[in-house]
Structure 1
Amino acid sequence: MPFRRIKTISRRLKGSLAAKQLFYILIFSFFITFVGTSFNLFLEYKKDLSAVDDQFTQIREGHLESLSGSLWQLDDLQISTHLNDMLTMRDLIYLEIRENGEVLFSAGRLKEGEQWVRRGFDMFFSHGGQQRHIGVLDAYASLEGVHQRLFERLFVILVTQAFKVLLVSMVILAVLHRVATRHISAIAGYATSIRPHELGTRLELPNREVDPEYPDEIDELVSALNQMRQRLFHDMERRQAVEHQLARNRALLDETQKLSNIGGWEYHVDDELFLWTNQLYEIHGLEVDPTVDHFEVSIACYSKADGEAVGRAFTECIDRGRPYDLDCEITTCKGEKKWIRTTGRPVFEGDRVVRVVGNMMDITESVKAEEAQRRSLKTLMTVLDSVDAIICVSDTDTFRILFMNKAMIESFGEGLTGQEYHALFMAGREKAGPPGVSPRAGIPDHAGALVWESRNQAGAFYINYERSIQWVDGRQVRFHHGVDITQIKKMEEELRQSHKMEAIGGLAGGIAHDFNNILSSVLGYTELALDDVPPETRLEGYLQEIYLAGTRAVALVRQILTFARQGDEEMVAIQVKPIVNEALKLIRSSIPSTVEITRDIESESLIFGNATQVHQILMNLCTNAASAMEGEGGVLDVKLFDTALGYGGTPVPVSLLPGNYLSLRVADTGCGIPPEVMPSIFEPFFTTKAPGEGTGMGLAMVHGIVKKWGGEIKVENNTPRGAVFTVYLPITEEENEPSEPLPEDDTLPTGGERVLVVDDEPAIARMIGKILGRLGYTAVIRTDSVEALELFRSGPEHFDLVMTDMTMPTMTGDLLAAEMLRIRPELPVILCTGYSNRVTDAALAEIGIKAFMTKPIVKKELARVVRTLLDEAGKGAGST
């Protein structure tokens, strides 16, 4: 009987919420106690182990050095004292000193089965300035004391915590019974006993006072049950209303599917049963018939490829639970072509697919619209991609690129969609832009059009047209149309440079004119003086030196005139290839051996020019290139080849016309040209060399020769990897007629005719008169052109030849000659000048001038020209 009562109580306790609460409270409390105790013991254990490590550290820092000294001195007593002193530490049990595996000294002992930790210390002793290894100290610390202290703490903690947990659990159980458990039992009794006809009976808990202002969870539960009783009847009414609404929704769904051309279906895997909505029959062109084999009918409407694709997708949806979404073309049972979108989604029970639901949408109109849009877009893209300009669209707010045409992709690269437009086109722009442009990269704030010029990071210039348009999604965007004007910019720069060089050339020509007048006097009077002094005297030597200096000055003036394109060198058809090969031989011997010369001389074309000046061009370019590689050495590369400018995409310099040109290319691997001096390299007397190392006329003379021959010179600067000079000269098909060499004769021709000399420089006029006088002629001198013309008019038959300067005030030499030739057309006239841009062979021939001489005038040349003209005119019987 007592046993049966205990068993009954036990059953009640097992089903009692209070018992379960007590059980879980005890379990949780003991768990928390266990975790807290374990963590506390772990910390204590780590603390004890740390104390053992501190003892090892004390050995290393406090005993090891002195013990090493005692070991070195083999002081057994001192060693034993040290070892015993260390054994006084709490957990140390054994110490030993070993050398090469042999135990030399030990203290303490190790017990069998005892747990310990060992730490070894290398022992060193400094002797003779070196650290010597003399042995190893092994220290053993026992863990028995650590474990013993740990178990003592565990016992105290467990007993204390168990008592505390038990006491707290009993108090909690009593409180829970009073405030909750007994009331829950009353509520459960009410819920099990209530009947539909008793819904008016309220639930009231005995022996419980309710505070309406501060209800607890029990009060809320009672209130909820009473409210549930009141809602039951209302719920029954609403259920009937919902069922009616569901019927209406089904009808509405059918109508909606019909309007949107969407039909739904469902497949039950286990029953192999298909269910179709009415609209799905309509899409397939069938009458509603639930008995039809839906799958076979649907698959038969597809093409073979689409049917196989849909079948595979449907099978994978069942087997692998993979949904699908396909666009296909079908032929309905009525023969209509349609595009449909079919989808399927698996429905799982556990991990198994039990149903597949999906729909089919008639998208024929959408496909037709998309196809029309694609054709329209293709047409638009064809137009945009064929435009030789960059076109893009960017967002008005973020400036991100939305669209680019083919030209922009080719110019700037792919993958730029999404990047900021102004970062590509406005690199380097200042914040202050043109009117109507906001500070941020020059993007206009208003919706109007804007035209502006920019330069991108690659150095290309663009003229940009920009306005606001409406994008396909309805928002306002920026439409950008940019035209690459880089070549136009380069041509403008080349034209400015050409005008600058022409202006410098005019200045150089003016200087040459004045200098030639001076040199004419110097050389002419020097020649006269040489005729008057005895030979092989000191004075003759001085005069010869003056004459040589004058001839060097003449050479310099000729370089200046060459730059100014006013040289009088004979122009003939020449082949440049042999001249270049010959010049390279001379260059090889004149530049350092550290400079390697490579060549590729392939062109055999002819140009219209002068062999000496071709030699000068190559010598100057190669000398400059070698100077750029002085010290470090490098490679001097010379190429001669034909180039078709303006054909095959090759750009044409602004001063040239499209055609065939001979290209002379001189490249070096030197230091390059500093960017700040690039604009001045062709200016006369400009040089970066030290004083006395260069005249600054080399490149200026090259520029003058090339321009005179109708060519162009281009520079590619690759600082600090060298520079490339390319000379373009027009190719000619003409060949020279062979000429017989003139016999040389050192005897000066003379005569006795009457010559009118006109020059506004009195010294030059007198000098020419004296030279003519010594040659036997009668010279009449005038320094004013108008006065000379009046003298000639008064007696034109008194003069056999007229020699006039070109540049004179009031009336220039060519105008004076023209007036005299009107009076006497057969008159021989010699025109002299130091520089004039009006003197050309065509102009002289038109006037009737027979000869042209360049200052300074020397006696030998003057005698030859005067005699030749007089003989051709048939005047006199001059002697030679």
Structure 2
Amino acid sequence: MPFHRIKTISRRLKGSLAAKQLFYILVFSFLITFIGTSFNLFLEYRKDLSAVDDQFTQVREGHLESLSGSLWQLDDLQITTHLNDMLTMRDLIYLEIRENGEALFTAGRLKEGEQWVRRGFDMFFTHGSGQRHIGVLDVYASLEGVHRRLYERLFVILVTQALKTLLVSMAILAVLHRLVTRHITAIAGYATSIRPQELGTRLELLNRKADPECPDEIDELVSSLNQMRQRLYHDMERRKAVEHQLARNRALLDETQRLSNIGGWEFHVDDELFLWTNQLYEIHGLEVDPTLDHFTESMSCYCKADGEAVSKAFSQCVELGRPYDLDCEITTHKGEKKWIRTTGRPVFDGEKVVRVVGNMMDITESVKAEEAQRRSLKTLKTVLDSVDAIICVSDTKTFKILFMNKAMIESFGEGLTGQEYHALFMAGREREGPPGSSPRGGIPDSAGALVWESRNQAGAFYINYERSIQWVDGRQVRFHHGVDITQIKKMEEELRQTHKMEAIGGLAGGIAHDFNNILSSVLGYTELALDDVTPDTRLEGYLQEIYLAGTRAVTLVRQILTFARQGDEATVPIRVKPVVEEALKLIRSSIPSTVEITRDIESESNILGNETQVHQILMNLCTNAASAMEEEGGVLDVKLFDTALGYGGTPVPVSLLPGNYLTLRVADTGCGIPAEVKSSIFEPFFTTKGPGEGTGMGLAMVHGIVKKWGGEIKVEDNIPRGAVFTVYLPVTEEHREEPEPPPDDGILPTGGERILVVDDEPPIARMIGKILGRLGYTAVIRTDSVEALELFQSGPEHFDLVMTDMTMPGMTGELLAEELLRIRPDLPVILCTGYSTRLSEEALEEMGVKAFMIKPIVKKELARVVRRLLDETGKGIEKG
């Protein structure tokens, strides 16, 4: 056969159905062969690996124990015999016995590049009652035999399957050519060579007779081609009509292309014929081709939702005559995203829709511009809503609200009117008249801005910023930006109050020492006079009044010391409820009967405080409340309850942290507190009472105690009338064990020891000496600390106790005590002071001082402390 003939047959065969059939048979056979062979080889591979594992098992169970015994006896010959015996197994290639990583015996060898698998077996020898580890047997098995056997099986399977596939393929090709491919080749040749003038020639197949009752697929194909040949003749005639219509469309195209980026279309209902202008092809990303299925090509560009909407609108336009106008997003055939506006209008012939005409406009740029504007406005609104300040825009003349951010809506409501806005923020500014403002509250041009601080009708403070800006419609409007500084104002007021209280505390501490020294003389000598006066005489009554007056003066001094930072009394865990209940009993008997007391004492919580000062807090608050209702009477309401501040929406006062607080609430229905004096009621010596009716220290003392304990006190109006004082004190989980009070039988302890008294105030020194003398002691008095030190140095054993003032010229009391204790470490020393911030109890204890006493000193406390220290020297600081 000539070479070119073979080449032609080969080229035909390459593109024939038979070649494709052969290809699929080969591919399918290959897949089946591959899957079956892979599975079979996998099973054989696992079987070979299992055989290798069996050899390892045989080593462990058949040789390991006897080999361990030979190793223990160091029988080299027996070990070598065992190893060589194991090497007779099919896949074992190398054996090694190691001890501590060192090879003792080996058998066989490992080839370079050879694949193997190793298994290590620990070798034990039973010796006595235990086992000893004597080495490790490493067994190497070669995988070369496994792989070789695997390759041999693979070769046999592949050769067998290839022969089977070849034979089956040749048989199928022969049958397929006889029944199908030669006829299809003849049909293809007919279809390729047919010409318009040959449409009358009928297709007939050689050597084939059709069965009209039971035609097969080839017969049906031949019949269909002959029918198509007949239809083509009629289609040729209609094509001429279509070409004529296309000429008319060119005029439509010329008119449509004058429009910017708009494509026109027309649909003939009877013919189901679509006509597009060139611009419509461009919008869809298509080449101009009038033979396309235009509706399908256009619908494929829409997303599912838009496609359904357009399809429905088009169907209603054709069937019901409803026009439509839709904006949709499409993805062109070139992958571009576009926004289009598609419209359709029906054309009627009588009541029947015969045509639909419409256009499609590319509105991508305008949509992008609108979207950019929306994003910009959304971003701007997000920014303005996230600002922790109120922002609004209003008309410059009418104050009509044009815009409010989220903070302003939340603060004043979405329905805020221009009049309400003006009253809230502008009225105060007009009164103050900041630079640049007009009498009507006008604002300067956009080059300037106004800033002012105001307090609106709701009581909130704001820093306001305002300028003129151009609004979206081109007019000038008022841009207002306000920052709420109410909390800052409150904190500033708290800071001013704190500084004021600290200054007064320093003043109180400064005068306390001298005043207590004076009271020491008054009370001490009054006690001496009462000891000498005849009982039940007028003189005794006078002296008792003097003593009571002095005691009240001591109480007043202690109240003043509440404001001194270092004048704090010790705080301990106390339960407030019984203190409040006891205080209310006293209050009931001390206020007018026209004042009714109601109570609700719930809390069982503890605080870190002082029972006396809790009593003082309640007494002062209730006394002030009763005074406010003195003329007309009223109701005094006292409540004690627990509050969790900062949880569940409960607001926290500025100076407090969130947590659990004990709350004392004292409310009255009196005359209330004028707004102009509320900021001053906690100041020391401030009073609204007449001369001689009040000291002005009550509420100041309450404020000082509450602040010292880490609490807060606030005053509010009581609706409908009166005032409410609310005290917050932090709750503690600590508890105190109540000490048993010392027995008081009225008899003062006495003694006969020798005591050195040192005080730079001669009246006080003499007074203490006389009291000690009447208690049986021998008192040696010195008013100069240096002289007292010299006297003690001359005879330290002559004194049993030293009592010294703290503040003295030349040498202070603590320096004197240090010198005395250096000379005689076991000496009991009492340090006395009217007021001092220099030393704490811990510092005095480190010095060795056994006790300290706060002036004024009374006879009872002096007798108890002196006697106790003389009897129990060295057991710690005692405070009197």
Q: Please, what TM-score do these two structures have when normalized by structure 1?
A: 0.57
The structural deviation recorded for 1:606 is: 0.9
The DSSP-based 3-state class of the residue aligned with 1:869 is helix
Q: Which amino acid in the other structure matches residue 530 of structure 1?
A: L
Does the Cα contact within 8 Å between 2:435 and 2:450 map onto a contact in 1? Answer: no
The DSSP-based 3-state class of the residue aligned with 1:428 is helix
Q: Which amino acid in the other structure matches residue 641 of structure 2?
A: F
Match of residue 836 from structure 2: 836
User: Within 1, Cα distance between the matches of 2:594 and 2:532?
Assistant: 53
Q: Decide whether aligned partners of structure 1 residues 450 and 778 sit closer, same or farther in structure 2, where only a CA change above 3 A counts.
A: farther
The structural deviation recorded for 1:625 is: 2.6
User: Within 1, Cα distance between the matches of 2:445 and 2:799?
Assistant: 83
User: Within 2, Cα distance between the matches of 1:593 and 1:294?
Assistant: 102
User: Within 2, Cα distance between the matches of 1:638 and 1:314?
Assistant: 81
Match of residue 856 from structure 2: 856
The DSSP-based 3-state class of the residue aligned with 1:716 is strand
User: Within 1, Cα distance between the matches of 2:485 and 2:496?
Assistant: 16
Quick check: 1:628 aligned with 2:631? no
User: Within 2, Cα distance between the matches of 1:654 and 1:784?
Assistant: 52
Does the Cα contact within 8 Å between 1:401 and 1:419 map onto a contact in 2? Answer: no
Question: What residue ranges of structure 2 are gaps of 5+ in the alignment?
Answer: 1-249, 268-273, 347-354, 876-880
The DSSP-based 3-state class of the residue aligned with 1:728 is strand
Q: Decide whether aligned partners of structure 1 residues 489 and 850 sit closer, same or farther in structure 2, where only a CA change above 3 A counts.
A: farther
Q: Decide whether aligned partners of structure 1 residues 810 and 442 sit closer, same or farther in structure 2, where only a CA change above 3 A counts.
A: farther
Does the Cα contact within 8 Å between 1:390 and 1:408 map onto a contact in 2? Answer: yes
Quick check: 1:780 aligned with 2:780? yes
Match of residue 574 from structure 2: 574
Match of residue 212 from structure 1: none
Match of residue 521 from structure 1: 521
Does the Cα contact within 8 Å between 1:257 and 1:279 map onto a contact in 2? Answer: yes
Identity of aligned residues (%): 88
Pairing 1:543-554 to 2, within 5 Å after superposition = 543-554=543-554
Question: What residue ranges of structure 1 are gaps of 5+ in the alignment?
Answer: 1-249, 268-273, 347-354, 876-880
User: Within 1, Cα distance between the matches of 2:627 and 2:325?
Assistant: 75
Match of residue 729 from structure 2: 729
User: Within 2, Cα distance between the matches of 1:773 and 1:255?
Assistant: 134
Match of residue 872 from structure 2: 872
Pairing 1:268-667 to 2, within 5 Å after superposition = 327-329=327-329, 338-341=338-341, 361-371=361-371, 374-375=374-375, 378=378, 381-382=381-382, 384-390=384-390, 404-414=404-414, 428-429=428-429, 447=447, 455-462=455-462, 483-562=483-562, 564=564, 571-587=571-587, 591=591, 597-631=597-631, 634-645=634-645, 653=653, 656=656, 659-667=659-667
The structural deviation recorded for 1:668 is: 3.3
Q: Deviations over 1:89-126 (max 9, x none)?
A: xxxxxxxxxxxxxxxxxxxxxxxxxxxxxxxxxxxxxx
User: Within 1, Cα distance between the matches of 2:263 and 2:873?
Assistant: 115
Q: Decide whether aligned partners of structure 1 residues 451 and 309 sit closer, same or farther in structure 2, where only a CA change above 3 A counts.
A: same
The structural deviation recorded for 1:796 is: 4.7
User: Within 1, Cα distance between the matches of 2:421 and 2:536?
Assistant: 84
The structural deviation recorded for 1:572 is: 2.8
Q: Please, what TM-score do these two structures have when normalized by structure 2?
A: 0.57
User: Within 1, Cα distance between the matches of 2:258 and 2:490?
Assistant: 68
User: Within 2, Cα distance between the matches of 1:558 and 1:646?
Assistant: 35
Match of residue 64 from structure 2: none
Does the Cα contact within 8 Å between 1:752 and 1:777 map onto a contact in 2? Answer: yes
Q: Which amino acid in the other structure matches residue 618 of structure 1?
A: L
Q: Which amino acid in the other structure matches residue 687 of structure 2?
A: T
User: Within 1, Cα distance between the matches of 2:282 and 2:824?
Assistant: 114
The structural deviation recorded for 1:497 is: 0.4
Q: Decide whether aligned partners of structure 1 residues 444 and 850 sit closer, same or farther in structure 2, where only a CA change above 3 A counts.
A: farther
Q: Deviations over 1:767-789 (max 9, x none)?
A: 11211222222323333445545
User: Within 1, Cα distance between the matches of 2:810 and 2:447?
Assistant: 65
Q: Decide whether aligned partners of structure 1 residues 257 and 691 sit closer, same or farther in structure 2, where only a CA change above 3 A counts.
A: farther
The structural deviation recorded for 1:766 is: 1.6
User: Within 2, Cα distance between the matches of 1:685 and 1:843?
Assistant: 34
Q: Decide whether aligned partners of structure 1 residues 793 and 603 sit closer, same or farther in structure 2, where only a CA change above 3 A counts.
A: same
Q: Which amino acid in the other structure matches residue 765 of structure 2?
A: A
Q: Decide whether aligned partners of structure 1 residues 781 and 391 sit closer, same or farther in structure 2, where only a CA change above 3 A counts.
A: farther
Match of residue 753 from structure 2: 753
User: Within 2, Cα distance between the matches of 1:283 and 1:831?
Assistant: 104
The structural deviation recorded for 1:592 is: 5.6
Does the Cα contact within 8 Å between 2:751 and 2:775 map onto a contact in 1? Answer: yes
User: Within 2, Cα distance between the matches of 1:658 and 1:649?
Assistant: 11
Q: Decide whether aligned partners of structure 1 residues 838 and 452 sit closer, same or farther in structure 2, where only a CA change above 3 A counts.
A: farther
The structural deviation recorded for 1:653 is: 4.9
Does the Cα contact within 8 Å between 1:625 and 1:668 map onto a contact in 2? Answer: yes
User: Within 1, Cα distance between the matches of 2:807 and 2:567?
Assistant: 17
Does the Cα contact within 8 Å between 2:327 and 2:340 map onto a contact in 1? Answer: yes
Match of residue 111 from structure 2: none
Match of residue 802 from structure 1: 802
The structural deviation recorded for 1:846 is: 4.2
Match of residue 707 from structure 2: 707
Does the Cα contact within 8 Å between 1:495 and 1:655 map onto a contact in 2? Answer: no
Q: Decide whether aligned partners of structure 1 residues 654 and 414 sit closer, same or farther in structure 2, where only a CA change above 3 A counts.
A: closer
Q: Decide whether aligned partners of structure 1 residues 537 and 503 sit closer, same or farther in structure 2, where only a CA change above 3 A counts.
A: same
Q: Deviations over 1:457-500 (max 9, x none)?
A: 54434567889999989999998766544323322211210221
Match of residue 686 from structure 2: 686
Match of residue 764 from structure 2: 764
Q: Deviations over 1:832-875 (max 9, x none)?
A: 23333445433433444322222221111111111212222389
Q: Which amino acid in the other structure matches residue 662 of structure 2?
A: L
The structural deviation recorded for 1:406 is: 2.8
Q: Deviations over 1:705-751 (max 9, x none)?
A: 32343333222346873322222222222222343332223222222
Q: Which amino acid in the other structure matches residue 773 of structure 1?
A: G
Does the Cα contact within 8 Å between 1:491 and 1:653 map onto a contact in 2? Answer: no
The structural deviation recorded for 1:663 is: 2.0
The structural deviation recorded for 1:632 is: 5.2
Q: Decide whether aligned partners of structure 1 residues 740 and 420 sit closer, same or farther in structure 2, where only a CA change above 3 A counts.
A: closer
Does the Cα contact within 8 Å between 1:757 and 1:779 map onto a contact in 2? Answer: yes
The structural deviation recorded for 1:505 is: 3.0
The DSSP-based 3-state class of the residue aligned with 1:260 is coil
- Which range moves more in the overlay, 559-568 or 599-608? 559-568
Q: Decide whether aligned partners of structure 1 residues 831 and 476 sit closer, same or farther in structure 2, where only a CA change above 3 A counts.
A: farther
Q: Which amino acid in the other structure matches residue 828 of structure 1?
A: P
Q: Decide whether aligned partners of structure 1 residues 718 and 604 sit closer, same or farther in structure 2, where only a CA change above 3 A counts.
A: closer
Q: Which amino acid in the other structure matches residue 339 of structure 1?
A: W
Q: Deviations over 1:580-635 (max 9, x none)?
A: 34444554565566655554433322112222332332232233234334455555
Match of residue 103 from structure 2: none
Q: Decide whether aligned partners of structure 1 residues 838 and 328 sit closer, same or farther in structure 2, where only a CA change above 3 A counts.
A: same
Q: Which amino acid in the other structure matches residue 527 of structure 2?
A: E
RMSD (Å), alpha carbons:
5.5
Does the Cα contact within 8 Å between 1:402 and 1:417 map onto a contact in 2? Answer: no
User: Within 2, Cα distance between the matches of 1:658 and 1:548?
Assistant: 45
The structural deviation recorded for 1:513 is: 3.6
Does the Cα contact within 8 Å between 1:671 and 1:720 map onto a contact in 2? Answer: no
Match of residue 146 from structure 1: none
